[in-house]
Amino acid sequence: MRYRLLSTLVAAATVAAVETATETYEYVVVGSGPGGGPLACDLARAGYKTLLIEAGGDEGDNPTYSELGNFLEAANDEATRWDFWVKHSDDPKRELEFKHMTWDTGDGTFYVGLNPPAGAKQLGIQYPRAAVLGGCAMHNGGVCSLPQDEDWNLIVNATGDTSWEASKMRQYLKKIEKNDYLPSGNAAHGYTGWLSTSTGDASWAKNDSLPATKILKKMAELTGQNPADVASLANSDILGAYDNKDDITSFYNMVQHADKNGKRSSPNNYVRATLADPKKYPLTLKLHTLATKVLFANATAAGGLPRAIGVEVMEGASLYRADPKHVPGTKGNTTQILASREVIVSGGAFNSPQLLKLSGIGPAAELQKFGIPVIKDLLGVGEKLADNYEGSLLGLATEPIQGAGLITMMFRTPSAPTKKRNIFTWCGVLSFEGFWPGFPTDYGPHEYECAMVHIGPKSQAGSVRLLSADPQDVPDINFRFYEHNGDVDLHELVEGGKLLREAWQAAGAPTLPFNELHPCPGTAAGANCSDAAQAESYKTQAYSHHATSTCAIGGDKDPMAVLDSKFRVRGVVGLRVVDASSFPVVPGAFPSLPTMMISTKAAEDIIADAQKAG
């Protein structure tokens, strides 16, 4: 398949000149997504003069972004899209088995597939990120779920900081949430925060004649739930406070960060509300500003440790080469901005480690390779890249499935190593097979899919590494899927797919038989598809969009720890990282909400330190 390469413009290059720093703030926050946006607002609302830097623009009034239902269009939109072309392994042959491998044909088009035209340049596997006020919370599907309790508690175990205990972390959900789907007064939820949460209509599950309801009941039977209760189970609160919640297999009503009218709720709303508030909070926003380096000075008061004193930025739109609108050779004016208290980096799992390395913080050998002076040798920067494995069961029904609502379930497969559930699935008349230019494929009204997110992947071997010292360059990103204990994870995915396939057979006529497209092409019930064949499909066609852990929190004795439990970068002063890269592991099934929660926690930590310092 061919797709248009966007904005293939040619213009003369401009040369950047470094200007003297003219602005000083107490805090400078780099990145306005789920980590940085709320944090900047909280600091400003506490009275601290705060600058929020965002490389993209503001699309908050654009229906493509403000209407959550347009999320597929938003993720494809060149107005905000940064294209990272990633690898899933170190094996070139395996990479070429990914059916949505993307190529630059050289004539202004992309080719997506396994048989590129002669002379096409292999780009990689598309991993779009959003350069826009609000970050990736502006182009995602808005799915909200909570980490497993052990994802919080492992930080306690590693650092001794009991403020991370799972029982204490719900307070941050309650603080940011404006619940639109439950009556007020539910002690597990918040009702006055900045983040609206809502659910869809699950009343379809009351109609026993629908094929989707028959599938739902069979899923209940196969997972130990009562088929007679599916109408109420399908409306369960996925963010509820349940005893031993991570051991519970159950249907849920999917929660999204949107209001009850379908308007996306994100850090964009919080930033705009803070800027417009009559109280005139001291928040400044700089859009189209690419942070290129954190600035340091030696501070004897800090025991001789280097102190972050500001950032160097390049001003202008589409300066980063991941931007499809970038014009080769274009640079912006370079300016230095000072921070009297701290710099907070919130660029996400790809850009935060890149910025740290460009600033001299990271593995010394890697920095020296590109002539970057070493401020602090930190081995873990850019390492331990983690992500959920995602796969799906996709087929075409004999007749379109009428009246099908969205089925959401979290369940445990038989071989899971603990009692914890390990699969998050959602099923419906949809098609989602990962990312490529122009995704997804529309298979028409007969399509039906159960998409799966694997919770708690065993391997964490990915990396984000520099290709140059040029801040406009995109780093080398390799997830190294299934590098460790891959057979275990693949077996769990196969078990999940087999359970869902069996449930499909309950749909009855005229829906049956399904013509399965993957992982077992052409089989009605997977009868002629071995477990090994299914595992190979999940291995070569896995996709993901929940990158985390490249600047991970860890204990004092962990040589790979980048941050302490207060998000402070080890070995320097005045610098923190607050975003999805901070998590030691992927937090559950979807990291957007957990990242907004830790943003609020980080604000508390930073304000507490500021009050002590005076």
Binding residues for FAD: 132, 140-143
User: In what helix (H) or strand (E) does residue 476 lie, and over which residues does it extend?
Assistant: strand 476-478
**338 three-class SS:** strand
CA distance 451 to 463: 26
Distance of CA 472 to the CA centre of its chain: 22
Q: Which residues pair with 311 in a beta bridge?
A: 294, 337
CB 55 within 8 A of CB 290: yes
CA distance 453 to 610: 40
- Residues 6 or more apart in contact with residue 595 via CB below 8 angstroms: 33, 34, 35, 579, 580, 583, 587
Amino acid type, 187? A
Which residue bears the tokens 């205990």?
165
Work out whether strand 177-179 and strand 195-199 pair parallel, antiparallel, or are unpaired: parallel
Q: Note if the bond before 510 is cis, omega within 30 degrees.
A: yes
CA distance 515 to 423: 24
Instruction: Give the pair of three-digit tokens for residue 147.
Output: 């980490």
- Residues 6 or more apart in contact with residue 301 via CB below 8 angstroms: none
- Alpha carbon of 247 to those of 254, 410, 411, 417, 578: distances in Å? 18, 10, 8, 12, 29
Burial class (CB in 10 A: 0-12, 13-18, 19+), 438: middle
Binding-site residues from annotation: 132, 140-143
CB 537 within 8 A of CB 519: yes
CA atoms within 13 A on the CB side of 58: 14
- Which of these, 348, 171, 184, 177, lies nearest to 255 by C-alpha position? 177
The gap between the terminal CA atoms of the chain, to the nearest Å, is: 60
CA distance 375 to 3: 43
Q: Note if the bond before 519 is cis, omega within 30 degrees.
A: yes
- Which of these, 273, 210, 223, 602, lies nearest to 401 by C-alpha position? 210
Instruction: Give the pair of three-digit tokens for residue 534.
Output: 């299914």
